[in-house]
Structure 1
Amino acid sequence: MIGLVLRQGGIEFKQFVRTRESFVFTLLFPAMILLIFGSIFQGTIAGVPFKQYFAAGMIASGLLSSGFQNLAISIPIERDRGVLKRFRSTPMPKWVYFGGKFLQVFVIGVLATALLFVIGAFYGLKLPSTADKWFTFIWVFVLGLLACTLLGIAFSAAARTGRSGPAVVTPVALILQFISGVYFPFGSLPHWMQQIAALFPLKWMCQGMRSVFLPESFAAQEPAGSFELGKVALVLGLWCVAGLVLSLLTFRWTTKRDG
């Protein structure tokens, strides 16, 4: 069974690479934004270069793009083309399809993060220097990517057609990025906006990544006066459970016109 998942994951990744739009938008877009914004914005936040703050947020945003945006856009296209309908009619276990998607997203997430590491290094991004910080990075990466993947599968039902996928998904992702502290210091956002952002996983992913890539002294700039890593783990874990439940309730193998 593991072999089937690995094979399906390989197929999914090849399809992803061959789709230029998905490849550029999902894998390269976060890196391009970091490159452009890193060249534009100067100054510091509580003694931390803004470029370093921005890089931490873009790493979290890259996970959102790899999981949520990628699947919420690509699955409706596959549904429209009848790919899911044909897959459901085969004797292959249905979970193999999802296992392949998870594997594809994981590989894309690793590649996107590695690319952001390389570009961030030009702007002085300091990689974790202790085992504790690397451990924090790993669990924030895994929980964040898993939550975004499950939510991407669930949200794929929102697009009625394959063509409408980007129009439905992209605004949601952009709004979350703006209110979650990716492009602007989270503490400087209006309180009501912070409260809304706290309901979604990206805010906590960004906060977890800031604890990894920014000095401990920066914790005082967070609204709670600390990085709240325990709360970060709890919220992301809850979103993983919620994403799984929503996926089971909303996922469709066929379009409405297919019945």
Structure 2
Amino acid sequence: MTTTTTTRLPGNVSMGLARGRVEILQFFRQRDAVVFTFAFPAFLMAMLGLIFTEPHPGTPVSLRLVLAASIIAYGIVSTAFMSTGIGVAVDRDDGTLKRLRGTPVTATAYLLGKLMLVVVVTLGEVALLLTVAVLAFGLELPTDPGRWATFAWLLVLSTTSCTLLGIGFSALARSARSATAVMNVPAVALGFVSGIFVHILALPDAMVTVASFFPLKWMGQGFRAVFLPDTMAAFERARSWELGRVAIVLGVWTVMGLALCLATFRWRERRRG
């Protein structure tokens, strides 16, 4: 009588954690990628802070503090949307995904690994941006626990939605070379029309209307609500922080990002005609 022994494969969570550790180690071994990923949003914050030194019209709050709070949202887009989308496109182009498909690693585990990397890098990016804003521009961190609670759910929804959208958008890149343009162009364009690089009251109504369909505008508005005085809400388009609407919009984009991932994720690169 023979006894058959079956080996149970690890689950998606354990495989995802293992894959995440690999992703983190690979990322921090690429020094140029580490420096660019962390330094670019901080560089933008520093440059805009040096340019816009005057007070916001009608308030004693410096305009550079308004932009500094907004750029935290762009930092998350940089680490979660752009870097993730480019990373998935590179993995697909150089055959990493094709090789992983021949292993027990599932698509869910692979995506969990990417999300784990994004969480680590995003936390570092946000910490760096807050450090620059506090030390260079005098941003005062909130003491109200309610604001930090808002910061927490805003960070979770922003990171999750941008990561899922980045993975979904990576399918548009036909190669690793084109991935940078595919991911950067919409992010930079939305940065201008969403009131991230320019105060939102200075933008035409048509631009703001377009930006309102996308998450970056609401992310910037949410972070301004966390780090700016409540009196600054009067200078938003709706004369309010609209935190309820911020949560709804980011929640909807999270669901849409997940649907986009499920519809577009593929293990192989496209055939080139």
TM-score when normalising by structure 2: 0.91
1 CA distance for matches of 2:62 and 2:146?
A: 23
Q: Match for 1:162: what amino acid?
A: A
Q: Which moved more, 1:231-240 or 1:42-51?
A: 42-51
In structure 2, which of residues 16, 30, 47 is the aligned counterpart of residue 19 of structure 1? 30
> Which segments of structure 1 move beyond 6 Å, counting only runs of 4 or more?
none
2:103 equivalent to 1:90: yes
In structure 2, which of residues 200, 205, 209 is the aligned counterpart of residue 186 of structure 1? 200
Q: Match for 2:96: what amino acid?
A: V
> Residues 31-60 of structure 1: CA distance to partner in whole angstroms, max 9, x if unpaired?
122122222321111331112111111111
2:177 equivalent to 1:163: yes
- Give the match for residue 80 of structure 1: 93
**Residues 57, 209 of structure 1: 8 Å contact kept:** yes
Aligned residues: CA RMSD: 1.5
In structure 1, which of residues 209, 213, 223 is the aligned counterpart of residue 223 of structure 2? 209
2 CA distance for matches of 1:20 and 1:51?
A: 30
- Give the match for residue 46 of structure 2: 35
Superposition deviation, residue 21 in structure 1: 4.1
SS in 2 for 1:24: helix
- CA distance change for structure 1 residues 171 and 220 in 2, over 3 Å: closer, same or farther? same
Q: Match for 1:28: what amino acid?
A: A
Gaps of 5+ in 2: 1-10
**Residues 102, 149 of structure 1: 8 Å contact kept:** yes
Q: Match for 1:221: what amino acid?
A: F
2:149 equivalent to 1:135: yes
TM-score when normalising by structure 1: 0.96
In structure 2, which of residues 153, 175, 188 is the aligned counterpart of residue 174 of structure 1? 188
> Residues 14-45 of structure 1: CA distance to partner in whole angstroms, max 9, x if unpaired?
21222344323322211122122222321111
1 CA distance for matches of 2:198 and 2:101?
A: 44
Gaps of 5+ in 1: none
Q: How many residues align?
A: 259
- Give the match for residue 269 of structure 2: 255
- CA distance change for structure 1 residues 12 and 127 in 2, over 3 Å: closer, same or farther? same
**Greater Cα radius of gyration, structure 1 or 2:** 2
2 CA distance for matches of 1:7 and 1:255?
A: 24
| Identical aligned residues as a percent | 44
